[in-house]
Amino acid sequence: MPTYPDPVVLYPEVAAEGSLAAALRAVAVRQGLSIPVPVTASSSLHGAVVPATVPHREALEVSASHVERRWFIRGCERDQGLALIEGDTVDLAQVARAAQAWHDGAPLTEIPQAASFVKLTGRFEVPDRDPAGLVESEWRHLRTEAAEVNWPEYHALIEAAYAEPTLRQLYPFTSHWSLRFSTSTRPSLSRGVLVCLHARRGRDYIVTMGYMGQELGETATAEEAVSLAARNLPAELGPVRYGAAEPS
């Protein structure tokens, strides 16, 4: 079992308040802010949530590292549970400012202005659950992510797939960095589009049917891989629909 530093040593001001939720509330007050952070008997030194006033946002998750003095945030949209903002910092005052902006419903682009450590994931808010909007939001996220990772082949694959109209109209998602597609959005992805594209570092591309299924071919370029994938799409896919969660 790993041995972690004493949280009282890492976060003395949090320990003094009794929980991260209480400490976050206290540091907000000192800045003239007012965040309704729930403080309960189960509140811990390592986690807190900040509710949002807009219905299409989930509560902001705030967590503390067990290894070093650092706080993390994650703000997700309501319908798919996917992150719109995230980030980490050693400054709890900045966390409070980000939490206030999230709670108040500030536009996503304004939250990094309130707290510079906040990173936008590329996704945008789609309050009406419009499938076309969710498709474009997820493509924007994948393109943002691909531009930031040190993997030229993966970046080229995402950009080539987005440039192909028949793929761009589908809902994209990744599994182990392999690009896949669905005719419905999260939370209930469809299984009808089996084609899957894989980028390999410093090498070529592979197109398969299913994540570990039949290999359709290897190509030297991302554009060739995308073309091969497009030729193997099912006929008459139709527009993407909202993937409502199945009843339990």
**Residue 243 maps to a domain:** no
Question: Which pTM value belongs to this model?
Answer: 0.93
Same domain assignment for residues 163 and 186: yes
94 domain-assigned? yes
pLDDT on residue 230: 97
Residues 108 and 137 in one domain: no
Q: Kindly list the strands in the beta sheet with 171-175, ordered across the sheet, starting from the edge strand earlier in the chain.
A: 171-175, 178-182, 195-199, 205-209, 215-219
Residue 2 counted as domain residue: no
Distance CA 246, CA 184 (A): 13
The per-residue pLDDT for 246 is: 65
Q: Given 52, 86, 120, which residue is the final one in a domain?
A: 120
Say which DSSP state 104 is in: H
Tokens representing residue 49 in the block: 């949530």
| 111/205 same-domain check | no
In this structure, is residue 238 part of a structural domain?
no
Look at residue 71 and give its three-state secondary structure. Answer: strand
In a domain, residue 92? The reply is yes
142 and 218 share one domain: yes
At residue 81, φ and ψ (nearest 5 deg) are 70, 30
Q: Are residues 108 and 150 in the same domain?
A: no
Does some domain include residue 203? yes
pLDDT for 84-97, tens place per residue?
999 999 999 999 99
Is residue 239 in some structural domain? Answer: no
Out of 94, 120, 146, a domain closes at 120
Assess whether 94 and 147 both reside in one domain.
Answer: no
User: Rounded to whole angstroms, what are the CA distances from 43 to 40, 46, 51, 125, 137?
Assistant: 5, 8, 15, 30, 34
Number of domains in the chain: 2
pLDDT tens digits in sequence order for the chain, 248 residues long: 678 889 999 999 999 999 999 999 999 999 999 999 999 888 899 999 999 999 999 999 999 999 999 999 999 999 999 999 999 999 999 999 999 999 999 999 999 999 999 999 999 999 999 999 999 999 999 999 999 999 999 999 999 999 999 999 999 999 999 999 999 999 999 999 999 999 999 989 999 999 888 999 999 999 999 999 999 999 888 899 999 876 55
pLDDT digits (tens, 9 = 90+) for 6-56: 999 999 999 999 999 999 999 999 999 999 999 988 889 999 999 999 999
Identify the pLDDT of residue 247.
57
Do 149 and 115 have their domain in common? no
3-state helix, strand, coil in the chain (%, to 5): 35, 20, 45
* Last residue within a domain, chosen from 87, 120, 153: 120
Range of the domain at 39: 7-120
Do 66 and 103 lie in a common domain?
yes
CA distance 17 to 41: 13
Whether residues 83 and 151 fall in one domain: no
Report how far residue 53's alpha carbon sits from residue 105's, in angstroms, rounded to the nearest whole number.
6
- DSSP letter string, 187-235: TS--SS--EEEEE-TTS-EEEEESTTS-EEEEESSHHHHHHHHHHTSPS
**Residues 21 and 58 grouped into a single domain:** yes
If asked whether residues 106 and 143 sit together in one domain, one would say no
Residue with tokens 């309960």: 40
Same domain, yes or no: 116 and 144: no
> Is residue 72 one of the residues assigned to a domain?
yes
d(CA 78, CA 90): 28
